[in-house]
Structure 1
Amino acid sequence: MTEPGERLAKRVAALVPCSRREAEQYIAGGWVRVDGRVVEEPQHRVQQQVITLDREASLLGATSATLLLHKPAGHDDGRLAPDGQRPRPGDPPPARQLLTQARQMVGDEASQRLLKRHLVGLDTLVPLEPGASGLLVFSQDWRVARKLLEDAALIEHEVMVEVAGDISPEALQRLNRAPDGAAPARASVKISLNSNSEGSSRLRCAIKGGQPGLLARLCEDAGLQITGMRRMRIGRIMLGSLPVGQWRFLLPQERF
C-alpha cells in the first residue's frame, strides 16, 4: 500500500523549481526543512506540511568531514567497534557514539550542522588506548587519512601523563634513554617534567608515531604509576578548549 502524500524530493523540485536530482542534493545537504525541522531523506513523505529551503542553500559539492573529539577516558577509540559495528559485551563504550548534534562544541567556528552523511564512512585514524583521554580524529577525507597514515612516523603527538609521586632526575633519565636493542619507536619519545604537585607529577611527552601502549611501557620500566593520560596535540592540531566528550569540525584552513 502506497503511503499518503508525495516524496519530499518531488515537492522541493516543484518549489524551487529544479530537477529531481538537484532537489535530492538540497535535501541531503541539510538545506530543507519540513515544518521547521531539517529532513535529510529525499524519500520522506509529505502532505500539507510547510516546506522551506534555506536562503544559503547551495548545490556546490559536499566536502568530506573531519571531526575532532575530546575522548573521555574509558571509551574505545573506534578500533574495537568500527563504523556500523556494535561493541561486544564487556568492551568499553565506543567513542563514535559521542558524535551527535547535542555534543557539538558550542561556538564551533565551522558554523555547520552535523548531518547524517557526515557520519558515513568515518575512519579512526590515530589510535588512542581506552584508558587515555584527549584528541581523537574521525575523518571521511582521503587527504587527511593519507597525511595521518603515511606520515605517522613523522607527526609529533603531545601527551600529558600524570604519575603518582615525585619524579627523580634518575627516573627522568631512564624515561629518555633508549637501551641497546630498543626499537626505533622508543627513541622517538622526548619526556620532560611539566609540573609537580603534592603526591603527583605531570610529564610532557612528545612522541612520533603514536604507538599505543608505548608511554605506559616506558613508565612501567621506570617504576612509575600512571594515574592519567591525555593527548593534547596531533601535529599542528591542538585539543585546546574542546570540552571532554564534545567534538568540533576540522576547519578548512587547519592542517595536521
Structure 2
Amino acid sequence: MTDSKPPPAFRRAPPPGNKPPPLNATGPGVRVAASGATTTRLNKRMAELGLCSRREADDWIDKGWVKVNGEIAPMGLQVKHSDRIEIDKKAQGHQATQVTILLNKPMGYVSGQAEDGHQPAVTLVTAQNRWPDDNARFFFHPSQLRGLAPAGRLDIDSIGLLVLTQDGRVARQLIGEDSVMDKEYLVRVSLGETVTNVQAAFPAEQLARLRYGLSLDGQLLKPAQVEWQNPEQLRFVLTEGKKRQIRRMCEQVGLKVVGLKRVRIGRVVLGHLPVGQWRYLAPHERF
C-alpha cells in the first residue's frame, strides 16, 4: 500500500525584476559557471527576489523549506536566474507572524546594541509603552522582541521615527544596498550665538551646497532636498544614511545642529506618536 500523504506545499518565487544584473556581473556571491551563465548564491538570489533576507534564507534552507528545480536545496548552493525556486508554506506562515514596530525614539537611547552605558531603543518596546491610540489588531507578546532589530539608525542625540523589525524584507527595503527610500528630517540649526535669524544670515550658495556638492568619507553625497521651514529650522529629505550625515553636512557649511527629528520614512510618517512610545506597522501600511 502506497503512502497517500500529500507532499509539502511549496509556493513559486516571483519572477525576477525588470532589470536583472547583466550576465557579466561580479560581486559577493556571484560566479560564472563553466557554461558561461552567471550564478548567484541561493540566499542572495532569494533576497534579490524579495522573498526574505539572506539570514532568513539561510534559516529556511537549513530547515529544508527551499527547493530549486524541484530538489531540496543544500546550504551554499549557486543558482542561475533561470532556476525555479520554491518556498514551503511553513516559511510563509513564519513570515506572517513577524512584526514591524515604529518607535518615537527619545534622546539618550542608541538605535542598536547598548554602548557607553546607554540603553538600546528596543528596551522601550514594552506593553506599557505601546501608544494607546494604536489601532493595529496585534497583541503584544515578548516573542515579538526575538530578532527585532533597527532598520536604520538615529544618533543618540536625535529623536523621531525609528523602525524596528523582525522581517528581513522590510529591512532590505529600508537599508538594503539598493535602497533609495527617502527619509525626512526637521533640523534646528544655529549660526553663532548672536544670530537670531539664521535663514536671513545664511548664504544662498551654502544652501545650494547642502542640496548637492558636499562629500563625506571621500564620496560625493547624493542630491538632497533642503528647504527652510522657519528662520531656525531646515527640512532635509535624504535617500542615503551615512553616519551622522546631516550633522556633518551642516558642519561643512558653518551650521551647528541643535536639534534633529526624523518625521518620515517613505510613506510612513511619525504623526502624533508620542516620544518614547511605539506602535505596530499596520498590515495596510507600506513604506
TM-score, scaled relative to structure 1: 0.66
Are the equivalent residues in 2 in contact too, given 1:152–1:210 (CA < 8 A)? no
Q: Which residue of 2 aligns with 1:54?
A: none
Describe the SS at the equivalent of 2:222: helix
Is structure 2 residue 217 aligned with structure 1 residue 178? no
Q: Which residue of 1 aligns with 2:262?
A: 231
Are the equivalent residues in 2 in contact too, given 1:152–1:208 (CA < 8 A)? no
Q: 2 CA distance for matches of 1:248 and 1:162?
A: 26
Tell me which of the two structures has the higher relative contact order, counting C-alpha pairs closer than 8 angstroms and 6 or more residues apart: 1
CA displacement 1:216-245 (0-9 Å, x = unmatched): 111101111111000011111101110000
Q: Which residue of 1 aligns with 2:228?
A: 193
Structure 1 stretches lacking a partner, 5+ long: 1-59, 82-86
Aligned residues: 184
Q: 2 CA distance for matches of 1:153 and 1:217?
A: 22
Q: Which residue of 2 aligns with 1:210?
A: 241
Q: 1 CA distance for matches of 2:281 and 2:145?
A: 14
CA displacement 1:82-130 (0-9 Å, x = unmatched): xxxxx35x33221111000110001101142210111111111111111
Q: 2 CA distance for matches of 1:248 and 1:191?
A: 29
Residue of structure 1 aligned with 2:138, choices 82, 106, 112: 112
Describe the SS at the equivalent of 1:103: coil
Describe the SS at the equivalent of 1:188: coil
Equivalence map 1:130-209=2 (5 Å): 130-150=156-176, 153-164=179-190, 165=195, 166-167=198-199, 168=202, 169-179=204-214, 183-184=219-220, 186-196=221-231, 201-209=232-240
Q: Which residue of 2 aligns with 1:76?
A: 110
Are the equivalent residues in 2 in contact too, given 1:152–1:209 (CA < 8 A)? no
Q: Which residue of 2 aligns with 1:220?
A: 251
In the TM superposition, what is the alpha-carbon distance from 1:132 to its structure 2 partner?
Answer: 0.8
Root-mean-square deviation (CA), in Å? 2.1
Are the equivalent residues in 2 in contact too, given 1:156–1:207 (CA < 8 A)? yes
In the TM superposition, what is the alpha-carbon distance from 1:183 to its structure 2 partner?
Answer: 2.1
Describe the SS at the equivalent of 1:171: helix
Q: 1 CA distance for matches of 2:131 and 2:240?
A: 28
Q: Which residue of 2 aligns with 1:21?
A: none
Structure 2 stretches lacking a partner, 5+ long: 1-92
| Letter of the structure 1 residue corresponding to residue 206 of structure 2 | A
Q: 2 CA distance for matches of 1:156 and 1:118?
A: 27
Same amino acid, percent of matched pairs: 35
Is structure 2 residue 272 aligned with structure 1 residue 254? no
| Letter of the structure 2 residue corresponding to residue 189 of structure 1 | A
Are the equivalent residues in 1 in contact too, given 2:224–2:239 (CA < 8 A)? yes
Pick closer, same or farther for the CA change 1:179–1:202 going to 2, 3 Å. Answer: closer
Are the equivalent residues in 2 in contact too, given 1:190–1:205 (CA < 8 A)? yes
Describe the SS at the equivalent of 2:243: coil
Q: 2 CA distance for matches of 1:154 and 1:76?
A: 24
Q: Which residue of 2 aligns with 1:245?
A: 276
Is structure 2 residue 97 aligned with structure 1 residue 63? yes
Q: Which residue of 1 aligns with 2:26?
A: none
Pick closer, same or farther for the CA change 1:194–1:151 going to 2, 3 Å. Answer: farther
Q: 2 CA distance for matches of 1:102 and 1:95?
A: 15
Are the equivalent residues in 1 in contact too, given 2:214–2:249 (CA < 8 A)? no
Describe the SS at the equivalent of 1:241: coil
TM-score, scaled relative to structure 2: 0.60
| Letter of the structure 1 residue corresponding to residue 108 of structure 2 | G
